Amino acid sequence: MGDSTVFDLERIRGAAKQLCPQAALLALFVVMVPSTALAEGGELATLWLPLVNFTLYGILLTFLYKKYGANLVKQRSIEIKERINSVASQLADAENKLEGVQARLSDIDEEKAALSRRYEEEGVSMSKAVAQNAKRQAERIAADTARQIEAELQQAKKMLHNEAVDKATEIARTRIGAELSAEQDRLLRKSVVQEFVVQERN
């Protein structure tokens, strides 16, 4: 109970200190208005009621402002300050995101340039490899064809040679058969066979 009384007294003293400037202005007004009215020839009794009403109205307005208006203004200023801080924070976040996006775009441009260079190099190396493979394949096909042609020519020569030898042997046998004896025919055949063997070896 004592603490609350002390607290109330302190609050009353604080309110009184806050109202001191307004009370001083009102006191000055109370002193100046009658003296001004008397100087202009008015009656002091007719001014007291409006003066008292004005004074009470001023005190009431000051009290109401201190009790309700000050808190509203303070709360509104706090809300505005919080909103400004929130907007500043959002702006900072947006700037950070913008910097991140710009850095990412720069990285993407660098990656795109690197990929372009790599694909170009791979394309050049691939075209060279394809050309080299085609050249090797053409050379291999030409060599295989030449070997095949050479083998077929050798086989054809051999067949023609055998046919010529057979034909010559047959003709010689026919012509000489009637003129040679059995011993001469045997020696002639042996000589032809030996000559054929020598030709085959060469």
**Cα separation, 137 vs 110, whole angstroms:** 40
* Inter-residue contact 114 to 122 (CB < 8 Å): no
DSSP 133-152: HHHHHHHHHHHHHHHHHHHH
Q: What pLDDT, on a 0 to 100 scale, did the predictor assign at position 129?
A: 84
How confident is the model at residue 5, as a pLDDT?
A: 47
Predicted local confidence at residue 90, as pLDDT: 92
Asked if 169 and 192 touch (Cβ cutoff 8 Å), the reply is yes
What b/e sequence results for 81-101 when a residue is b if at least 16 CB atoms lie within 10 Å of its CB, and e otherwise? eeeeeeeeeeeeeeeeeeeee
pLDDT tens, residue order, the chain (202 aa): 444 444 455 665 665 566 666 666 666 565 555 555 555 555 555 666 777 777 788 778 877 777 776 677 778 888 888 999 999 999 999 999 998 888 888 888 888 888 888 888 888 888 888 888 888 888 888 888 888 888 888 888 888 877 777 777 777 667 666 666 677 767 777 777 777 667 666 6
